[in-house]
Structure 1
């Protein structure tokens, strides 16, 4: 399973030297402009923690951040140029990085998962359980790098309130009790809190379901700012970006059918609350 989902033995974290260098350039231009992070953040329409993460080299800068920073700081191309060559993201598997960049700018993101709770919804306890039990074993530094990348990605849910997120999760993912009863209870509480966000819709696919359009496996669908649709399908140590419009259309059809087959968002929250009581 991948760095997006579990940590992936083949997806060893890479260095972040290029991200750190880019962050230092942003910081230098911000200071030259006489702006604090608190002043700069609203000017580029990002939060202060996001600006701090980019300046520290912990977050890949989205294209709209680069463009706005270029204009606000009057950087005469010093940010756009280097940004085109950034290719490494610490804590993310190589096959997932391209999708992660698209994910950070998506208009909508649809996720169906039958193997484990998606990274965007995981708690720290759940994610750490996956990383600690990864084979081959990961070192402490690798685990911390992947934890940082996982938690950083999760900010998308709150920092992009105009992006519509849909998740369809199999009921058995919660019944498995990965990490034990306490971790599971915390996970359910966390998912219920996220389900209350206006831009997030979470549906549970019942354990017993006679008709199921997703038996071919997990998938993600993404709409870009220019309204193109792309898909991503993942295996144990690989991921495939799908750009063929015919294949993407087929996956969209399957996802739409699954939304009608899964419990409604309201019934899904009710089921999760009942699970929480039994956890």
Structure 2
């Protein structure tokens, strides 16, 4: 199943189309060849499959994972050869993931420890659906409806990583700025749902530790921005940092050591998990 943009994740906008792969590129070329063999322009084909011309172009260029409706309608529009239907199950790219986030997502999926500091938005692994939708709509350009649903599905699917039934369950540490929680993204109802979701998650998942960084913190180790750290099953560490429309996987032991030092300092500067839960309850009660 698919995963998420920033925090690749965490924020919401930007391209969430998958990076070009051989399977997607080949599938797209077959779609284009069958379309042209049927004598259809891209605009005419788009009308027949009931997807936008942009979506058709993205599929043909190997930049987008076609969903089931696209495949079925494209089969009919191109004469029912069966080629597209037969090829679709072999597409391995995951829709909903920004291409720059994909390598980190693979590390994240098998991590035994995962540390996240976020100063922009509630981390994607902690987002309820309404909040995820509000975040995706907040940052231009606005996604089309198909892309929006892929993005939300991807983000929610990643949250299976939080399960305590995983063997072994991943140990999670999240540090989130209080300002992010009090921003009111999506409005009061969405914020209320967010607080309920976070409180329920911490209560149910003993493997999840949530700390809030207070609004006033004169000495702050996170001035350089958000970060994520992951420990693999063979006890190697990787890190991930993200900016506007890009992200970077970090494997250098020297850089990772620096980020681990900063994260340890952030943990000491943030509220305790118990005080963080107390703050969440007070914020929830004030709505």
Same fold (TM over 0.5): yes
Q: State the SS of the aligned residue for 1:168.
A: strand
Mapped to 2, the partners of 1:7 and 1:13 lie a distance apart of 15
- Residue 219 of structure 1 pairs with residue 234 of structure 2: no
Partner of 2:244: 236
Q: State the SS of the aligned residue for 1:152.
A: helix
Partner of 1:263: 271
TM superposition shift of 1:110: 0.1
Deviations along 1:105-147, one digit per CA (max 9) or x if unpaired, are 0010000000000100001001111222331221100000111
TM superposition shift of 1:16: 10
Q: State the SS of the aligned residue for 1:201.
A: strand
Partner of 2:192: 185
Partner of 2:172: 165
Larger Rg: 2
Mapped to 2, the partners of 1:230 and 1:141 lie a distance apart of 32
Equivalent residues of 1:203, 1:262 under 8 A apart: yes
Change (3 A) 1:14 1:149: farther
Deviations along 1:45-74, one digit per CA (max 9) or x if unpaired, are xxxxxxxxxxxx99xxxxxxxxxxxxxxxx
Mapped to 2, the partners of 1:13 and 1:7 lie a distance apart of 15
The answer to which of 10-19 and 185-194 deviates more is 10-19
TM-score of the aligned structures, taking structure 1 as reference length: 0.72
- Residue 210 of structure 1 pairs with residue 218 of structure 2: yes
Partner of 2:51: none
Mapped to 2, the partners of 1:257 and 1:137 lie a distance apart of 37
Equivalent residues of 2:228, 2:241 under 8 A apart: yes
Q: State the SS of the aligned residue for 2:110.
A: coil
Mapped to 1, the partners of 2:130 and 2:20 lie a distance apart of 25
Matches within 5 A, 1:40-189: 88-158=93-163, 159-160=165-166, 162-189=169-196
Equivalent residues of 2:16, 2:95 under 8 A apart: no
Q: State the SS of the aligned residue for 1:99.
A: helix
Mapped to 2, the partners of 1:184 and 1:242 lie a distance apart of 33
Partner of 2:85: none
TM superposition shift of 1:86: 7.3
Equivalent residues of 2:12, 2:138 under 8 A apart: no
Mapped to 1, the partners of 2:284 and 2:21 lie a distance apart of 39
Change (3 A) 1:205 1:129: same
Partner of 2:63: none
Mapped to 2, the partners of 1:241 and 1:148 lie a distance apart of 23
TM superposition shift of 1:4: 1.2
Provide the aligned C-alpha RMSD in A: 2.4
TM superposition shift of 1:88: 1.7
The answer to which of 196-205 and 85-94 deviates more is 85-94
Deviations along 1:159-217, one digit per CA (max 9) or x if unpaired, are 53621000000000111000001100100110111112110000000000111111110
Count residues with an aligned counterpart.
216
Matches within 5 A, 1:12-23: 12-13=17-18
